[in-house]
Amino acid sequence: MSAPSRTLRIVVADDHPSIRENLRYLLNAELGMVVVGVARDGPDALRLVHATRPDVLVLDSDMTDLGGLEVAETLRRDGTLIRIVLYTLDGDACVRAREIGVDACITKDSAPSLLIDAIRGGAPVVSTPPAE
């Protein structure tokens, strides 16, 4: 695989500290990716996106104060040019995410490589576990 032509700047937003830090570690270890900020809730995510102007926002759907879908909707409505990847435990949120204009939706039980692909722009719009 060839080296990326530029480094993708990423903001991670998740209300679980361990997930935030694991994602920061995982993404910073990837060639061509750097986490420029982490947010613990929706308002913090919006503030960070506007302050750091990242290329990609990795967003949990279920956060306190302002959920990920509301954050995505706000960013799409205000015209912020950013790739949004919803990273969620709730596969049903992926349906709503598509309606809002989220670029990709990856469930947290997916392989980390799917998240990496989604951030780079190569993943399917929705990745959900098979129906039981």
Domains located in the chain, CATH noted: 8-125 (3.40.50.2300)
**pTM for the whole thing?**
0.88
Per-residue pLDDT band at 122 (split at 50, 70, 90): low
3-state secondary structure of 38: strand
CA-based nearest residue to 45, from 10, 93, 1: 10
Mean pLDDT on 108-130: 76
3-state secondary structure of 8: strand
Six-digit token string for 19: 């997930």
pLDDT in tens, 37-87: 999 999 999 999 999 999 999 999 998 889 999 999 999 999 989 999 999
Residue 117 has pLDDT above 80, yes or no: yes
